[in-house]
Amino acid sequence: MRCFLMIVAILAIIVLAGGWWVWGNLPEIAGWWIEQNSRGVLDGPVEIGDIQWVGSGVRLEKIAGKLRTRQGPVPFVAHSVASVDPLTFFYKKKPVRFSFEGLKPEGSDSPGVYGEFVVHFANEFSLDLAAEMDKIALEDLRWIDPANLAGASGALKGSLRYSQMGNEPPHFEVNLDSPEPGGFLQAKFFDLFLPYLPASSQKQRVEQLASTGERLVKFKVARLTASMPDAHRMKIFLRILILDYNLDLKLNVEVRTDSEDAFLKIAQWMGVVEVQS
C-alpha cells in the first residue's frame, strides 16, 4: 500500500508540475498554435504579452507578430483580443464572439483596426469577421508596395467584412475612403493602372502624370471598394480625384483566378501575403 501511495504521489507531482509548466508557458504555447494554424500567412510564432482569464472568458494583450509578404516579414501589433461569449460555448457547439482592437503595423501612431469575429465549431468550422477603420494613416499601408507608396500620406476610414463556412468559398467586402482634404501619392503609382485603362483622354492624363516619376501628387478624395461575387473572381472599384491634372480617375477591375481560393490567391498576387507552399 505504501508503494502504491508513493506512485500516486509521484504521478500527482508530475501532473501538477506539467500543469504548472503549461500555465507558465501558456502565452508561448498559444502564440505557437496561432502561427501553426495561420496557413503560412504568419512568419513565426505570435508573441502574447499577457493572458487573463475573466470569468469563463479569456483576454489576450500586447500581441505582436509578423505577416509574411513578398517584400519580407512585416511586424504588426494588436492591443488586445478578448472573448465576448463564454468559452464554454465551444463545448456546447455554439458560436463564440471575440473582440479585438489596436491591430496595426508596428510603430504606427494610428489607433489601428478594431472589430469582432465569430468562431463556430459545429459540423463545419465557420468564421465571420467585421472590422472597422477610423483615422488609419495611409502610411500604414506602405508595406504593401514600398516602392510605389513611399511618401504616401492621408487618412483612411472604412470597413471590412469576411465570412466563410467550412470549405465553401468565402464572402469578402472592403470599403475604404480617404476624404477631403485627401493626401499625397507618388506620381509613378498611377503607372499601375495604365494596363486597365482604355484609350482615351483620361488615359493620356494618367500617362502624363505617371511619367513625372517619384514626385508627390496631391489627391483630394479617394475611394476603394472590393468584393467577391463568387469563388473565382474579385471586383475592384477605385476612384481618385486629382485637381492639378483635372483627373477624376475611375477604374473598374475584375480579377479572376482558376483557384477556388480566390481571396488568398489574389492577396498573394498583389503581394499582400506570401504563403509558403
* Predicted local distance difference test score (pLDDT) of residue 235: 84
Give yes or no: residues 244 and 210 share one domain: yes
Give yes or no: residues 119 and 43 share one domain: yes
Give yes or no: residues 150 and 268 share one domain: yes
* Predicted local distance difference test score (pLDDT) of residue 12: 34
Q: Cβ atoms within 10 A of the Cβ of 63, count?
A: 23
> Quick check: is 128 in a domain?
no
Tally of structural domains, the chain = 2
Q: Which residue has the higher pLDDT, 200 or 266?
A: 200
* Predicted local distance difference test score (pLDDT) of residue 208: 87
Q: Phi and psi (nearest 5°) for 31?
A: -65, -40
Tell which residue, 117, 185, 102, has the closest CA to residue 151.
Answer: 185
Q: For 96-133, what is each residue's pLDDT tens digit?
A: 898 999 988 888 888 889 999 888 877 777 888 899 98
* 157: Cβ contacts below 8 Å, ≥ 6 apart: 133, 134, 135, 136, 176, 177, 179
Q: What is the pTM of this model?
A: 0.75
Average pLDDT for the chain:
76
Give yes or no: residues 21 and 60 share one domain: yes
Q: What are residue 247's DSSP bridge partners?
A: 242
Torsion of CA 217, 266, 228, 44, to 10 degrees: -100
Average pLDDT over residues 200-210: 85
SS (H, E, C) 150-186: CCCECEEEEEEEEEEECCCCCEEEEEEEECCCCEEEE
Q: Which domain holds residue 230?
A: 138-277
Is the confidence at residue 47, as pLDDT, over 90? no
The single-letter code of the amino acid at 5 is L
Give yes or no: residues 167 and 265 share one domain: yes
* Predicted local distance difference test score (pLDDT) of residue 11: 34
Tell which residue, 263, 272, 259, has the closest CA to residue 235.
Answer: 263
Q: For 153-190, what is each residue's pLDDT tens digit?
A: 999 999 989 887 877 777 888 899 999 999 999 888 88
Q: For 5-42, what is each residue's pLDDT tens digit?
A: 333 333 333 333 333 333 344 455 555 455 455 555 67
